[in-house]
């Protein structure tokens, strides 16, 4: 569920929900700390006049707001801005602002997901594979997905119970932590124990089966991964994201996920071939 425009723009922390302060002794690992300090991603180049107008309009509503991306919208006469994982559209004259999905009826595609996919891909690149809990098939995977997960959510547990089938179909699953109850919660502390375990895969499986995990503290990436999940507009777990940054609509059974990933891969390959042919 999207936040109303004014709630989105006027809240001091537009993406936070049910969050408490993590214990001072729980420091993220060096890669995770770098990821946290790098978010939100800022566009290094100078704004165009239209982009500057959008940025100024957002800052006028809330000087502390962090704008993730600004650029031309997929429809003429508008600019697109991404704030806290949500898409806003501004008319080129600065008069109108719209919030919501932009659907191309001819192409049967949600165009508002294009910019979000780029943001997701950039943010996920900040998380080293070593900070993920990976369940990979034997041999080279056909597809790799990043999955923001919680050890308590029912569909997260259902997905994990079918891991053998995902792997059998050639899908590699790379887990990222997103404790839904917020940082500092018992859920978050349990997930930190999982990430601090000597055998993370075994500990995660035990936790998802409802078994207690031995408490353990260490430098861990849970906080950084949680914050990136918020930053890219995570609405619920599991959030499954392919290598191009495209998010799936929640939990998907193994065969259904494979078909969706195959279709996205074919579309991406087709676009690349078209682009190469047009040079």
Residue 218 bears catalytic tag? no
Q: Is 180 a catalytic residue?
A: yes
How far is the C-alpha of 22 from the C-alpha of 141, rounded, in Å? 36
Q: How far is CA 203 from CA 110, 151, 172, 196, 248, in A?
A: 38, 11, 18, 9, 26
| 156 assigned to active site | yes
Which are the contacts of 12, defined by CB distance < 8 A and separation ≥ 6?
62, 64
Catalytic residue selected from 68, 69, 153, 187 = 153
- Asked if 153 is an active-site residue, the reply is yes
What span, in angstroms and rounded, lies between the C-alpha atoms of 241 and 150?
A: 15
What whole-number distance in Å separates Cα of residue 263 and Cα of residue 261? Answer: 5
Question: Which one from 55, 131, 132, 156 is the annotated catalytic residue?
Answer: 156
Give the active site residue among 131, 150, 157, 196: 150
Which active-site residues does the annotation give? 150, 153, 156, 180
């Amino acid at each position: 569920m999207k936040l109303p425009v004014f709630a989105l723009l006027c809240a001091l922390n537009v993406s936070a929900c049910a969050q408490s302060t993590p214990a001072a002794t729980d420091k993220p690992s060096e890669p995770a700390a770098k990821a946290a300090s790098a978010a939100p991603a800022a566009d290094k180049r100078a704004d165009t006049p239209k982009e500057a107008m959008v940025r100024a309009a957002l800052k006028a509503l809330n000087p502390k707001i962090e704008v993730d991306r600004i650029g031309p919208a997929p429809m003429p006469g508008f600019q697109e801005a991404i704030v806290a994982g949500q898409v806003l559209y501004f008319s080129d004259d600065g008069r109108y602002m719209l919030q919501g999905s932009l659907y191309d009826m001819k192409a049967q595609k949600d165009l508002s997901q294009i910019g979000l996919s780029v943001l997701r891909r950039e943010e996920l690149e900040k998380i080293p594979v070593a900070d993920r809990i990976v369940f990979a098939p034997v041999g080279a995977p056909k597809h790799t997905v990043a999955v923001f997960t919680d050890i308590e959510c029912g569909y997260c547990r259902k997905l994990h119970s079918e891991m053998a089938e995902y792997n059998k179909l050639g899908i590699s699953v790379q887990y990222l932590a997103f404790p839904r109850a917020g940082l500092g919660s018992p859920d978050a502390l349990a997930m930190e124990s999982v990430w601090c375990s000597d055998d993370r895969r075994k500990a995660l499986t035990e936790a998802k089966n409802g078994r207690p995990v031995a408490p353990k503290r260490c430098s861990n990436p849970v906080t950084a991964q949680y914050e990136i999940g918020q930053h890219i507009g995570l609405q619920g777990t599991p959030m499954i994201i392919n290598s191009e940054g495209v998010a799936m609509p929640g939990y998907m059974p193994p065969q259904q996920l494979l078909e969706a990933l195959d279709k996205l891969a074919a579309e991406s390959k087709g676009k690349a071939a078209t682009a190469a042919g047009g040079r």
